[in-house]
DNA sequence: ATTGACAGTGAACAGATGTTCACTGTATAT
DNA sequence: ATATACAGTGAACATCTGTTCACTGTCAAT
């Protein structure tokens, strides 16, 4: 059993079960008839830095889901040299480093197009954060939701769209901030 | 112990340990001195659909990380009515439904700005997918990396930038497709 | 041919884990 | 006051789990 194959099988298992298999389950997964074979295989994965043992000796997926980050790619003219500096990004940690309760919204419309937020994009909103000038916020103005840049000048809040075809909103009646946009996620099909 | 507090504590534990705690660990986590108190609490979370028991009776985080999806927000004029249809999106499944090996790239430059991909954005590349017309690809042209729209007309490949200030690339010497962009992730700080 | 490293087998065992049962205190409603 | 539901305690136990040990076969190097 090659390490690469083992890694893929562990990933698949984890994706479905959201946990690592026990050594007995690994034996089934890897096609061993002895738990010990799995035990030895895992020892190698630990040595390779893919897995690790936590506080209480429990197996943890240290780098099992770290997607290789191959570097920076220039989206202008082709990049002179593509240095493959191998960071690894753990998507889970990358996006989930928020303490409080966050939520998703799906964007429709084009008023934030100049901020590179378009139709169908999912935005993650952190309702616990207080908006600073220039933050993008989900706001409830006069009982209606909208996504805009947030600016506070002389005590008055302006909600500025990232599209010249739309007007700046100066909330009159009520303004409630749904939260600050902390992330944008787009998925192509 | 309120269910909401328990959920938050479980999330925190899972974020660090990448697994659910045992009943004994839960007792410590929740401040119980009896495992059974945790057992009963978890039973409620299972009934509430937050957790579930898998094939072999193991505890799984069914919806523990499902971020509430509050609906569609119009980024044009404020939305007339904001129907709170409570989908839940599991970020992990949402972004990780790829079998093969994927990798990240960080974008620099503005040649894909009209495709809403800008400086600093992370793009996820699937090297196993064959590009179709209109897909955004990471390509290696004459030994240099670039991100462009992919088009094949009359057997000739065109790499089209999403920015009028840049020229269309007609690969002469070599063209290698690094992969198809399947996702864009932006994070604000 | 001999050696050694390596991949896997099979059995054994201490300790951890999920689950059940009977019990206690405490708040709330009747 | 009385009953009732509920949150938590404490102990018990069968089973599962990680780990160790001794062993077998196989391949490559000497």
pLDDT value for B121: 92
Whether A57 sits with its Cβ under 7 A from any strand D atom: the answer reads yes
Touching B: A residues 152-181, CB under 8 Å: 161, 166, 169, 180-181
Q: Comparing A157 with B67, which gets the higher pLDDT? A: A157
pLDDT tens across A54-65, in order?
A: 877 789 988 887
Indicate whether B80 pLDDT > 50.
no
Q: What is the mean pLDDT of residues A35-49?
A: 93
Whether B41 sits with its Cβ under 7 A from any strand D atom: the answer reads yes
pLDDT value for B57: 79
pLDDT value for B81: 44
How many Cβ atoms are within 10 Å of B71's Cβ, its own excluded? 19
At A81, is the pLDDT very low, low, confident or very high (cuts 50, 70, 90)? very low
CB burial string B124-139: b at 16+ within 10 A, e below: bbbeebebeeebbbbb
Indicate whether A79 pLDDT > 70.
no
Protein-covered nucleotides of chain D (CB closer than 7 Å) are 7-12, 16-22
B103-185 classified as CATH 3.40.50.720: no
Nearest in space to A101 (alpha carbons), one of B64, B30, B27, B48: B64
CATH architecture of B3-64: Orthogonal Bundle (1.10)
pLDDT value for A96: 67
pLDDT value for B97: 65
* Contact status, residue B50 vs residue B65, Cβ threshold 8 Å: no
**Could you tell me what percent of chain B has a pLDDT over 70?**
88
Q: Comparing A56 with B25, which gets the higher pLDDT? A: B25
pLDDT value for B118: 92
Domain with CATH 1.10.10.10 in chain B: 3-64
Sign of the Cα torsion A140, B82, B117, B170 reads negative
B3 touching chain A per CB within 8 A = no
Domain with CATH 2.10.109.10 in chain A: 103-185
On the CB side of B47, CA atoms within 13 Å amount to: 7
Provide residues 97-116 of B with CB closer than 7 Å to any strand D atom: none
Of B72, B79, B105, the CB nearest to A73: B105
Q: What is the mean pLDDT of residues A25-37?
A: 94
pLDDT tens across A162-181, in order?
A: 999 999 988 877 788 989 99
Distance between the two ends of chain B, CA-based, in angstroms? 34
* Contact status, residue A78 vs residue B141, Cβ threshold 8 Å: yes
pLDDT value for B86: 57
pLDDT value for B68: 75
Q: What is the mean pLDDT of residues A5-28?
A: 90
At B77, is the pLDDT very low, low, confident or very high (cuts 50, 70, 90)? low
């Amino acid at each position: 059993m090659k390490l690469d194959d083992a890694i893929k099988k562990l990933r698949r298992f984890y994706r479905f079960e959201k946990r690592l298999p026990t050594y007995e389950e690994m034996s089934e997964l890897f096609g061993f008839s002895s738990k010990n074979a799995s035990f030895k295989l895992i020892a190698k994965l630990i040595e390779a830095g893919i897995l690790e043992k936590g506080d209480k000796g429990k197996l943890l997926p240290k780098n099992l889901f770290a997607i290789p980050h191959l570097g920076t790619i220039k989206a202008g003219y082709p990049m002179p040299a593509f240095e493959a500096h191998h960071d690894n990004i753990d998507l889970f940690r990358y996006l989930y480093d928020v303490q409080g309760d966050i939520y998703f919204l799906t964007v429709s419309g084009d008023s934030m197009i100049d901020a590179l937020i378009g139709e169908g994009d999912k935005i993650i909103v952190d309702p616990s954060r207080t908006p600073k000038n220039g933050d993008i916020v989900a706001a409830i103005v006069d009982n209606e939701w909208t996504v805009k840049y947030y600016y506070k000048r002389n005590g008055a809040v302006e909600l500025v769209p990232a599209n010249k075809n739309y007007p700046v909103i100066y909330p009159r009646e009520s303004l409630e901030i749904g939260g600050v946009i902390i992330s944008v996620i787009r998925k192509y099909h």
